[in-house]
Amino acid sequence: MNETMKKVAVARKIERPNTIEFIEALFDDFLEFHGDRLYADDGAVVGGIACFEDIPVTVIGIQKGHNLDENVKCNFGQPEPEGYRKALRLMKQAEKFRRPVITFINTAGAYPGIEAEERGQGEAIARNLMEMSNLKTPIISIFTGEGGSGGALALAVADTVWMLENGMFSVLSPEGFASILWRDSSRVEEAAALMKMTARDLMKDHIVDKIFYEPKEGIENNLEFTTEQIKSALRETLPELRSLSTEGLLGRRYKRFRQYGEFTEN
């Protein structure tokens, strides 16, 4: 197995701490809120309010389970449109009360199902991209595990994007890439290496700003090792982002996403 596929395997491990566990390790007074006020409560997206040291924050993330029962409740971390709409509702609430938003991303992607299409999976993701780009409060996104495609991006239009050492973010899975582009699923390792989906690769492309290291014994055995680094990053970054004017904050966010792409003109 090459280095990238090893990381992919770690990112997908069922024991890997999930969003609720990260939230509980990082914040106090977490209260989970439910529902999108339109149709349902999607267990694949969790969120609510909490306190980081003395700062009230809104926390939102994609939730995975550690066993089948838990995974049935959270649909294996694959949100339906209601999940994205719940996330947006909580972000708008954060904007109203001037709370920074911190999102946790760990998903193979948005759920591809008949009902998800009927209720507008594409519209829900699109709406989040547009609304987040203009949300008048700071947004920090942390990729904790898998970051699959538009379903991950829908929570990641942020002022700064961080990633755990074994996190990833890609346009599709290496398996999908190999089978679609090469019609050969056995070339998954080659695809993974090519796709530049690891934290280090993404930092070079300015998609990720900060990497948090994971303990040698595995993050599931020592979550604190990593959450201490996240805490110190939040301690530094939250006041910095909160001190910006709304105009300054949105201008910076616009520039961040405006820069992406490689092309020539001649």
Partner 1 sequence: MNLFKKNYFSLDGNEDKRKSDRRRKRNEPSIPDGMWIKCNTCKSIIYKKEVTEYKLCPSCGAHFRMSPEERINITCDEGSFIEFDSNMKPKNPMRYPGYNEVIEKAQKKSGISEAVVTGHGKIDGYEAVFAVMDSHFMMGSMGSVVGEKVTRAVEYATGYRLPLIIFTTSGGARMQEGIMSLMQMAKVSSALARHNEAGLLYITVLTDPTTGGVTASFAMLGDIILSEPKALIGFAGQRVIQATIHQKLPEGFQRAEFQLEHGFVDRIVPRTKLRDELAVILKLHSM
The site for partner 1 (CB under 8 A) is made up of 108-114, 116-123, 125-127, 129-131, 133-134, 148-151, 153-154, 156-157, 169-173, 175-177, 179-181, 194-197, 202, 205, 207, 253-254, 257-258, 260-266
Cα gap 235→232, rounded to integer Å: 5
* Smallest distance from partner 1 to CB 16, Å: 17
Cα gap 29→42, rounded to integer Å: 22
Comparing CB distances to partner 1, the nearer of 69 and 262 is 262
* Smallest distance from partner 1 to CB 93, Å: 19
Give the chain's end-to-end CA distance (angstroms, integer): 42
Nearest CA to 59 out of 144, 119, 121, 124 is that of: 144
Comparing CB distances to partner 1, the nearer of 27 and 111 is 111
**CA-CA-CA-CA dihedral for 258, 138, 195, 82, to nearest 10:** -110
Comparing CB distances to partner 1, the nearer of 55 and 129 is 129
* Smallest distance from partner 1 to CB 3, Å: 17
How are strands ordered across the β-sheet holding 101-107?
Answer: 28-32, 45-52, 55-62, 101-107, 139-147, 160-164, 210-212
Comparing CB distances to partner 1, the nearer of 92 and 231 is 92
* Smallest distance from partner 1 to CB 202, Å: 7
Comparing CB distances to partner 1, the nearer of 172 and 249 is 172
Nearest CA to 238 out of 170, 164, 166, 160 is that of: 160
* Smallest distance from partner 1 to CB 65, Å: 18
Partnered with residue 31 across adjacent β-strands are 49
